[in-house]
Structure 1
Amino acid sequence: MTSALGLVAACAPGGAMQQADPRPVMQRSYDLRELRFAAREGLIVSEENSFYPMADIVWRGDPPGPRLAQIETMFQEAARRSQPVLNGSTPVVVDVVLIRFHGVTTRTRTTVGGVYNVIFDLSVRDAHTGAIIEPPRRVVGNLSAPGGARAAALIDAGQTERVRVTDFLTALLRQQLA
């Protein structure tokens, strides 16, 4: 268990707060080749439209469908966007194991707003040998989710839930790997 002193917090664009287990102190020059996505077994997905469903997966930024696949698509897009920035000397594969992805329901977004809470375990491996460079560590990211008129204004400006969360995941991955 990580103590409060062991948490690292950094602000990100869009009213986000990011927390993570301490990253190993090391020189990083990663060339991101691949992101491998998995989800912890037994995660509960909710389509309930309450203010705060008691579930591990709550996502309304896409039409109803396979929520884990939709979330994986955002992680993969975040990795693709990060490749031009993460083009260092050590080719790596990043493993992401999703622990929680709790967005906001339609009811919450159209009224009070809330927080997108994303938790995953991240590890880094050598792309050629598979050797672990950075063992798994817990990453926690929180992105504000404005409600009511502010949410509607964001959508009108093209900042849909999917756009905002994918931008957030991109920044979070870069922060963890740079």
Structure 2
Amino acid sequence: MKLIRVMTALFVGLGLSACAMSDTATRNTPPGNELIAAPSVPALKVNRVIVDVPQSLEVSEANRYFPAGDIVWREDPLGDRHAQVKAIVEDAMTKGVAGLDGPTTVDLHIQITRFHALTQKARYTTGGVHDVEFNMTLLHPKTGEPLAPSRFVEAGFKAYGGEAAVAAEARGETQKVRITEHLAQVVRTELTDPEGFKAVRLGLLEMFN
């Protein structure tokens, strides 16, 4: 489902009206009317970010290139990986929605379904993919009821390996920093762009703006 449909459902739930421009192709534009506005999305303001990392997600501590499990995270000390992932995602989402100041206030619920950073072995050899997936739901800030169907987001992007990873760390670009900044951009795109975030799987996931 395109985000514009999700936002239309949101406005129905709130009892408001939204005005969306038609997506008219330039080739069909009459002469003299070449400037046609792109589809719009409702302007939002996020009241609260709620991140859920279910305990049912399996954690892997195996130092393999492609370990099994739902959560693979190594940059924090050995401990509660669910809590560590939750903290990373909460920070990212809070940064991503900062400054949104539209007239429609919502709560943003994020449920992580997969969080794969790199193992030590992959980090310092081949590299790979930061494979992060989640369900995103907009909630009524007072009742907690969903305002639109949940949207599944694949937010994977290329992860550095070998010398590139070492150089990135020297610049302060740790896995945590890169994942946080990327997820912040992803959620902001989801909330402001009619097409949402796009990821293309070509062996590895790469981000195309």
> Which category describes the TM-score, using the shorter chain as reference length?
0.7 to 0.9
1:24 shift after superposition: 3.9
In structure 2, give the amino acid aligned to 1:86. L
Matched, 1:164 2:178: yes
Mapping of 1:27-176 within 5 angstroms?
A: 27-176=41-190
In structure 2, give the amino acid aligned to 1:22. K
More strand by share: 1
Question: Any conservation in 2 of the 1:91–1:128 contact (CA below 8 Å)?
Answer: no
Say which is worse superposed, 168-177 or 128-137, in terms of deviation: 128-137
C-alpha distance after superposition, 1:30-73 (max 9, x if no partner)? 11111111134521101111111011100112222211111111
In structure 2, give the amino acid aligned to 1:51. Y
Question: Any conservation in 2 of the 1:33–1:83 contact (CA below 8 Å)?
Answer: no
Say which is worse superposed, 129-138 or 118-127, in terms of deviation: 129-138
C-alpha distance after superposition, 1:75-96 (max 9, x if no partner)? 2112321343322111111111
In structure 2, give the amino acid aligned to 1:113. G
1:160 shift after superposition: 0.6
Which residue of the partner structure matches residue 23 of structure 1?
3
1:168 shift after superposition: 0.8
Could you tell me how far apart the structure 1 residues matched to 2:134 and 2:150 are?
A: 10
C-alpha distance after superposition, 1:91-110 (max 9, x if no partner)? 11111111111111011000
In structure 1, give the amino acid aligned to 2:2. P
C-alpha distance after superposition, 1:146-171 (max 9, x if no partner)? 11000000000010111000001101
Q: Equivalent residue of 1:134, what SS?
A: coil
Question: Any conservation in 2 of the 1:90–1:126 contact (CA below 8 Å)?
Answer: no
Which residue of the partner structure matches residue 29 of structure 2?
none
Q: Which has the higher contact order (CA 8 A, sep 6+)?
A: 1
In structure 2, give the amino acid aligned to 1:142. G
Say which is worse superposed, 152-161 or 120-129, in terms of deviation: 120-129
TM-score, normalised via structure 1 length = 0.82
Q: Equivalent residue of 2:106, what SS?
A: strand
TM-score, normalised via structure 2 length = 0.71
Q: Structure 1: state its 5+ residue gaps.
A: 1-20
Which residue of the partner structure matches residue 207 of structure 2?
none
Question: Any conservation in 2 of the 1:47–1:58 contact (CA below 8 Å)?
Answer: yes
